[in-house]
Structure 1
Amino acid sequence: MFKGLGDMGDIGKMMEAAQEMQAKMAKMQEDLANLTVTGESGGGLVKATATAKGELVGLDINPTIFSPDDKEVVEDLILAAIKDAQRRAQDKAASEMARLTREMGLPADMKMPF
């Protein structure tokens, strides 16, 4: 690139690669906000839906579980479904990050600041 600068010409390539990575990371973050996962508990009686970024966006409760005597059970099922959705969201985000780093030729265990 620049004659007489030796490896300094590679800086331009590195900057271009860094900009490309930044653009792909921004796109991935946007995509994670649009991907949803559903966690459930009680054999599907309670379902919680979250984005792959972990934001809870929906809750579905089968009406057959409503009984004044079962209040604590219902609360536990709701919490379990939310935790399951959040775990699935983390797993989805991690798999998307691994896919992106693989596509970019980066080490799979490379820690990104996002």
Structure 2
Amino acid sequence: MLKGLGNLGDMAKMMKSAQEMQGKMAELQEQMEQMEVTGESGAGLVKATATVKGELKALDIDPSIFDPNEKEVVEDLILAAIKDAQGRAQTKMQEEMSRMAESLGLPPGMNLPF
């Protein structure tokens, strides 16, 4: 198409590739807003669900842990479940970004801007 224009043909090809990558990255960001992970603590007595982007969506607490004398334990379990969900979200995000980079032919370890 741009034959005979030297490096301009390469530039057009690079611009097209950059636009495709930008579109794929936008799509991945939208998908990550919908993907959810669940972290838990206390052998599943407390569960926190968050999006891969880190937004806390739900908290599920087994009623058996509600003992007024154990308030601090319950608070610790809640925090631990939230931290677990956040850690899982971060791991999932990194996995998805690596998958995206690989599909774009980028070298391993190259960080995408999220």
TM-score bin, normalised by smaller chain = over 0.9
Equivalent residue, structure 1, for 2:15:
15
Alignment TM-score, normalising by the size of structure 1: 0.96
After TM superposition, list the pairs within 5 Å mapping 1:29-48 onto structure 2. Answer: 29-48=29-48
Whichever residue aligns with residue 17 of structure 1, its letter is S
**Letter of the aligned partner of 1:22 in structure 2?**
Q
Q: Unpaired segments of 5 or more residues in structure 1?
A: none
Question: How many equivalent pairs are there?
Answer: 113
The aligned residue for residue 91 of structure 1 is 91
Q: Distance in 2 between matches of 1:94 and 1:113?
A: 11
1:64 alignment counterpart: 64
| 1:81 paired residue number | 81
2-structure distance, mates of 1:39, 1:111: 25
Q: Distance in 2 between matches of 1:108 and 1:53?
A: 22
Q: Which runs of 5+ in 2 are unaligned?
A: none
Following superposition, the deviation at residue 67 of structure 1 comes to 0.5
Q: What displacement does 1:111 show?
A: 1.9
Give 1:37 deviation, angstroms. 0.2
Q: Residues 1-56 of structure 1, C-alpha deviation per residue, up to 9 Å, x if partnerless? A: 241x3222100000000000000000000000000000000000000000000000
Q: Which residue in the other structure is 2:107 paired with?
A: 107
The one-letter amino acid of 1:76's match is D
